[in-house]
């Protein structure tokens, strides 16, 4: 196997889908192979995420420039990686972690380290003549993930909309990724028509989903169910609903305020509200249903709903193996959202995935609300066999780039392609249909 070494890593400041600066790094290898990677950026970031280094200099991009991170890549990381075998990802990432030396990438910036980590992997896969997902799989089982399409945006991603940040459709009951993508796009367009017919507005939010003016979170569920049925799919059998409440964003001092409904709930009352939604609608997954420090609430949520619904920790875990370990010990959820830029290297991200799977939990590879044309997460979802991916609505090319990449992978795998389907939800004993709480 070719073991080309890193010659140098270059970097530049580019712009993400919100027009904010982000880091692009290019790894150049000794055999002439090279590859670039761009990092995404969140808006509803968790308190425990690795640091995204920004210049803080108000004269450029309102302080959001990333020239310090770019300089860290070229002046600190590149010389340290010279001569290291790019095809040994753990070696590359160990150097990044040691060079940084902080628990949260506070010195170099996770945007600098992740850009380099991904660029090295892509360059090594090019050098070995393998597709990135094959290179990342290391020969292990691979599969096409179930997509979660965020077709209705709220919270921090769409002002004047609902409190729930994301309402997604999940075509887990269809036979292939291509059919799932078609379902997602058809339901998306039907929802647009329903919103226009009802005069509810059909502008889109940061992740391409509609940002409609609804007066209750429950209305979103009814509308999406109608959109699934009107598109000719069976809710609760072929196509399900997933929510990302991003509840840390509407939490204050022990309470949860649903501004669009004008009411404030305790942790227990919010759990009860979720339970009523789950009884009425085919909800297969709820992400960040509670605040990132409300561990007692999470345990209760998992006790009440965990056998029936996937409960995903995003801000709760921030892709951090130490926090995931705590979650497993405490039985705080049954799934983890996987965002490479929350932790800052591919090796640490893979550790988070492996831990999640070892616990028998679900894992969801994820984009950020600020994205780029980089499609690495699509290959990671297949190569690491995460079973699920969420990368926005089937709208706006920074989102479609990932879905289209998955279409291509499924096509190229031909007969060997296997769509995860319901098997991606290992803890849910039966399909929603007919199940009762």
Choose between 221 and 242: whose C-beta lies nearer to ligand PGA.
242
Task: Work out what residue 64 binds among Zn ion, ligand PGA, none; the CB cut-off runs from 5 to 8 Å by kind.
Answer: none
Burial classification of residue 415, based on how many CB atoms lie within 10 Å of its CB (0-12 exposed, 13-18 middle, 19 or more buried)? exposed
Q: Spell 83-99 as b/e; 16+ CB within 10 A means b.
A: eebbbebeebbebbbeb
Cα–Cα dist 109/73, whole Å? 10
- Quote the strand ranges of 181-279, DSSP E: 240-244, 251-252, 255-258, 263-265
Cα–Cα dist 30/377, whole Å? 26
Cα–Cα dist 233/239, whole Å? 7
Q: What is the DSSP letter of 158?
A: S
Tell which residue, 325, 332, 321, has the closest CA to residue 296: 332
In the chain, what is the greatest distance between 2 CA atoms, to the nearest angstrom? 62
> Is residue 369 part of the contact set for ligand PGA (CB under 6 A)?
yes
Considering only residues 312 through 341, tell me which ones interact with ligand PGA, judged by CB under 6 A: 314
Task: Work out what residue 34 binds among ligand PGA, Zn ion, none; the CB cut-off runs from 5 to 8 Å by kind.
Answer: none
- Quote the strand ranges of 200-324, DSSP E: 240-244, 251-252, 255-258, 263-265, 283-287, 310-313
361, HSE (Cβ side, Cα atoms, 13 Å)? 28
- Which residue's CB atom is positioned nearest to Zn ion? 314
User: Of 70-78, 298-306, 323-331, 362-370, which segment contacts ligand PGA by CB under 6 A?
Assistant: 362-370
Q: Minimal distance in Å, beta carbon 337 to ligand PGA?
A: 6
Tell which residue, 421, 364, 376, has the closest CA to residue 402: 376
Task: Work out what residue 319 binds among ligand PGA, Zn ion, none; the CB cut-off runs from 5 to 8 Å by kind.
Answer: none
> Is residue 44 part of the contact set for ligand PGA (CB under 6 A)?
yes
Task: Work out what residue 186 binds among ligand PGA, Zn ion, none; the CB cut-off runs from 5 to 8 Å by kind.
Answer: none
> Is residue 244 part of the contact set for ligand PGA (CB under 6 A)?
yes
Task: Work out what residue 368 binds among ligand PGA, Zn ion, none; the CB cut-off runs from 5 to 8 Å by kind.
Answer: ligand PGA
Choose between 45 and 190: whose C-beta lies nearer to ligand PGA.
45
End-to-end CA separation in angstroms for the chain: 53
Out of 368, 402, 405, 427, the only residue in the binding site for ligand PGA (CB under 6 A) is: 368
Choose between 16 and 244: whose C-beta lies nearer to Zn ion.
244
Burial classification of residue 307, based on how many CB atoms lie within 10 Å of its CB (0-12 exposed, 13-18 middle, 19 or more buried)? middle
Considering only residues 14 through 43, tell me which ones interact with ligand PGA, judged by CB under 6 A: 42-43
Tokens of 385: 């066999």
Q: Minimal distance in Å, beta carbon 222 to ligand PGA?
A: 23
- Residue 293 sits at φ, ψ, to 5 deg, of -115, 5
Out of 194, 246, 343, 380, the only residue in the binding site for ligand PGA (CB under 6 A) is: 246
Q: Minimal distance in Å, beta carbon 49 to Zn ion?
A: 11
Cα–Cα dist 211/342, whole Å? 26
Choose between 81 and 305: whose C-beta lies nearer to Zn ion.
305
Question: Locate tokens 């030396």: which residue?
Answer: 101
Burial classification of residue 197, based on how many CB atoms lie within 10 Å of its CB (0-12 exposed, 13-18 middle, 19 or more buried)? exposed
Cα–Cα dist 360/357, whole Å? 5
Choose between 88 and 259: whose C-beta lies nearer to ligand PGA.
259
Choose between 112 and 148: whose C-beta lies nearer to Zn ion.
148
Task: Work out what residue 398 binds among ligand PGA, Zn ion, none; the CB cut-off runs from 5 to 8 Å by kind.
Answer: none
Choose between 81 and 168: whose C-beta lies nearer to Zn ion.
168
Q: Which residues are identified as catalytic?
A: 207, 339
Cα–Cα dist 11/61, whole Å? 18
Question: Site mask, ligand PGA, residues 194-233, x = CB under 6 A?
Answer: ----------------------------------------
Give residues in contact with Zn ion (CB under 5 A). Answer: 244, 287-288, 314
Task: Work out what residue 161 binds among Zn ion, ligand PGA, none; the CB cut-off runs from 5 to 8 Å by kind.
Answer: none
Choose between 323 and 368: whose C-beta lies nearer to ligand PGA.
368
Instruction: State the CB neighbour count (10 A cutoff) for residue 116.
Output: 32
Cα–Cα dist 189/206, whole Å? 17
Interacting residue ranges for ligand PGA, rule: CB under 6 A: 42-45, 165, 244, 246, 314, 366, 368-369
């Amino acid at each position: 196997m070719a073991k080309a070494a890193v010659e140098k890593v270059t970097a530049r400041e580019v712009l993400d889908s919100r027009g904010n600066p982000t880091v692009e790094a290019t790894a150049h290898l000794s055999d002439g192979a090279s590859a670039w990677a761009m990092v995404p950026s969140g808006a509803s970031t968790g308190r425990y995420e690795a640091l995204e280094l920004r210049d803080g200099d108000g004269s450029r991009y309102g302080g959001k420039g990333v020239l310090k991170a770019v300089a860290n890549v070229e002046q600190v990381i590149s010389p340290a990686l010279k001569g290291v075998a790019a095809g040994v990802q753990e070696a590359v990432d160990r150097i990044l972690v040691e060079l940084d030396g902080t628990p949260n990438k506070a010195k170099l910036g996770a945007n600098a380290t992740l850009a380099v980590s991904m660029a090295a992997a892509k360059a090594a896969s090019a050098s070995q003549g393998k597709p990135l997902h094959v290179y990342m799989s290391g020969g292990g089982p691979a599969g096409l993930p179930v997509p979660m399409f965020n077709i209705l945006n709220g919270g921090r991603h769409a002002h004047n909309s609902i409190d729930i940040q994301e309402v997604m459709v999940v075509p887990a009951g269809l036979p292939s990724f291509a059919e799932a993508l078609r379902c997602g796009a058809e339901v998306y367009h039907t929802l647009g028509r329903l919103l226009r017919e009802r005069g509810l507005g059909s502008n889109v939010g940061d992740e391409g989903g509609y940002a409609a003016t609804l007066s209750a979170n429950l209305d979103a569920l009814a509308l999406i169910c109608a959109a699934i049925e009107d598109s000719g799919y069976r809710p609760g059998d072929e196509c399900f609903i997933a929510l990302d409440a991003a509840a840390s964003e509407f939490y204050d001092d022990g309470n949860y305020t649903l501004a669009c409904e004008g009411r404030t709930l305790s942790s227990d009352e919010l759990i009860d509200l979720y339970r009523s939604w789950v009884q009425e609608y085919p909800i297969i997954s709820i992400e960040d249903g509670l605040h990132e420090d409300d561990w007692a609430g999470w345990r209760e949520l998992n006790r009440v709903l965990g056998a029936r619904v996937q409960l995903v920790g995003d801000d709760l875990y921030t892709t951090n193996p130490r926090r995931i370990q705590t979650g497993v010990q405490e039985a705080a959820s049954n799934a983890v959202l996987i965002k490479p830029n929350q932790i800052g290297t591919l090796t640490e991200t893979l550790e988070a995935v492996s831990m999640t799977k070892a616990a028998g939990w679900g894992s969801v590879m994820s984009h950020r609300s600020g994205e780029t044309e980089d499609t690495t997460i699509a290959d990671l979802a297949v190569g690491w066999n995460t079973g699920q991916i969420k990368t926005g609505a089937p709208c706006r090319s920074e989102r479609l780039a990932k879905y289209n990449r998955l279409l291509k992978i499924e096509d190229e795998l031909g007969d060997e392609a296997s769509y995860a389907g319901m098997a991606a939800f290992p803890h849910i004993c039966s399909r929603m249909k007919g199940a009762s709480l």
